[in-house]
Amino acid sequence: MRVAPLRDLAACLYLARPSNHGQPKLNTQKRHPLVGAYYCLDGDHSRANLHKRGKEKLWHGGKAKRKVYCFSKKSIRRHQKLLKQYRRNMTSILVAIERNMEEGIHLCGEQQFKLEDISTGVSDIFEKKKYENIPFIQVAPMINVTNRHFRALVRTITKRAQLWTEMIVDNTLLYNLNNLEEYLGFNANEHPVVCQLGGSDATSLAEAAVLVEQAGYDEINLNVGCPSTKVANKGAFGAYLMKKPEHVRSIVYEIKRKVQIPVSVKIRTGVDDCDSFPFLRSFIECVSSVGCTHFIVHARKAWLKGLDPKQNRSVPPLEYKKVFTLCQLYPHLKFTLNGGVKTMEEAVALLNGYLPSKDKFDSEKTYVQVQNYHVNPLNGVMLGRACMENTTVLSQTDPLVYNEKPPHTAFSRRTVLDAYKSYLEENSSLCSLSSAFELLKPILGILKGMPGHRIFRNKLDMYIRNYASTLPCSGILEKAMVEVDAVAPGCLDLPLADYKLQQEYIKNY
């Protein structure tokens, strides 16, 4: 029996006891004791008072509020047991809510700031870490995006950001030992580079981790945040593993036993109904107990049923405060924040310890500073889809974050495309009819928001279809650049560092 709480309404059960030798009056047809349920708003509803009233009707608003139901003694005891369990559950929920409020309280100060005032450079608390070669900016792993060709393009724009592979399933490596170059191959200038592994079997993942270490990667990451149906539901790994922290701990333990390079875990703030802050804390404590000291936290929960991967990147609200609270609760651990970051200015603001007022970046909104942020600042900020859609958002990574000059190839879009064209010429053997799309896919969004963007994409697609069998990919790119110069002269030569000049060009186009 379900008892629904009603506002200002008390439900009182009264067992009728007539003078039949102390036994309850029985219904002659169903042979059940009668139970009277009286509903009232005010007055004394104690058992003694109800006994005094007997079968007197209780009134409210001029209408009788008496209803009579028939239950057995067994059902009454079952109901009382369920009611106690319900009260215990509600008590635990209230305790969890209070813990959430206590741990998040006083996290931020009251003074408000504008984005342009807090994103001019990384604060001094990172000065020591700069010399330790710690990657503050990371390019998120994306399936069918962050392959070696995309990473080669990113390296023409920034030489310091940490690059990640797309997720590689452990069995993919174990079943293709004779063709590991296809899955683990990378260019020498990609360091620092991280290989992300996916899977649920500790032994298989440990064996795959050995292959990754032998390939020369700087770090191994375990995917515990992917909400894809194939991964989380059918494959039983990715975000599904967040429900099994003990199993994740055993996986990390087995991997760390086999390799010497660092091992990190990429997670969400929660999954399905397991989204409370105490659950997130218990997960962190469980996995870190075997030596995992770095967690990349996508600041959204994941819904494994009802939302597809694209919706899981936008529908669940951002929870930046949880990540910053973790930093203060566990100063011996490192945390990287992922989710919702679209520009380098927003990334710098987060690195400096500033939060958007509503966990959503907006140029018109104000930002508040996290108190005691210097105790354990973020280890890094990760950008994902923004880089895929337009890689030029990384053009200010080196000067803003690392206080270094960007590569000379990152001066303009033309220099970036020329550098990538040289890369295609060096890897001309990879260019065939089946791989031409893969080789040229990374540059499709380089003109996003600028005149000539649509022409560039359309011409690339047309030339790939018509000339891929006779013309190298570098030649296809050259023809597309000529088309852009004809439609938007000078657009490719605009300095990437001069945002105002680009805006003026768009207005005058």
Residue 58 has pLDDT above 50, yes or no: no
How far from the centroid of its chain's Cα atoms is residue 41's Cα?
Answer: 47
Say which DSSP state 6 is in: B
Amino acid sitting at position 219: E
pTM: 0.77
The catalytically annotated residue of 108, 195, 226, 292 is 226
What are the CA-CA distances from residue 453 to residues 122, 155, 445, 492 (Å)? Answer: 32, 22, 8, 11
Concerning whether 274 is annotated as a catalytic residue, the answer is no
Provide the strand spans (E) within 100-160. 108-113, 137-139
Sorting pLDDT into bands at 50, 70 and 90, what band is 17?
Answer: very low
pLDDT at 268 exceeding the cut of 50: yes
The confidence score (pLDDT) of residue 28 equals 40
Instruction: Name the pairing type of β-strands 10-15 and 34-40.
Output: antiparallel
Write down the pLDDT at residue 127.
63
Tell me the chain's radius of gyration from C-alpha atoms. Answer: 31
More confident of the two residues 245 and 103: 245
Over residues 238-248, mean pLDDT: 91
CB of 149 closer than 8 Å to CB of 442: yes
- How many residues would you count in the chain? 509
In terms of C-beta distances under 8 Å and separation of at least 24 residues, what long-range contacts does 176-183 make, across chains too?
A: 177/211, 180/211, 180/215
Annotated domain spans of the chain? 111-402, 413-508
User: What is the rounded average pLDDT for all residues in the chain?
Assistant: 80
- The residue behind tokens 């998120």 is 140
DSSP character string of 148-204:
HHHHHHHHTT-SSSBEEPPPEEHHHHHT-GGGHHHHH---GGG-SEEEEEE-S-HHH
Backbone angles phi, psi at 323, to 5 degrees: -65, -45
Q: What is the pLDDT of residues 132-178, one digit of tens each?
A: 556 689 999 999 999 999 999 999 999 999 999 999 999 999 999 99
Backbone angles phi, psi at 138, to 5 degrees: -130, 140
Q: Does domain 111-402 have CATH number 3.20.20.150?
A: no
Phi, psi values for residue 436, rounded to 5°: -65, -40
Instruction: Place 27 in a pLDDT band, splitting at 50, 70 and 90.
Output: very low
| Residue 6, beta-bridge partner list | 9
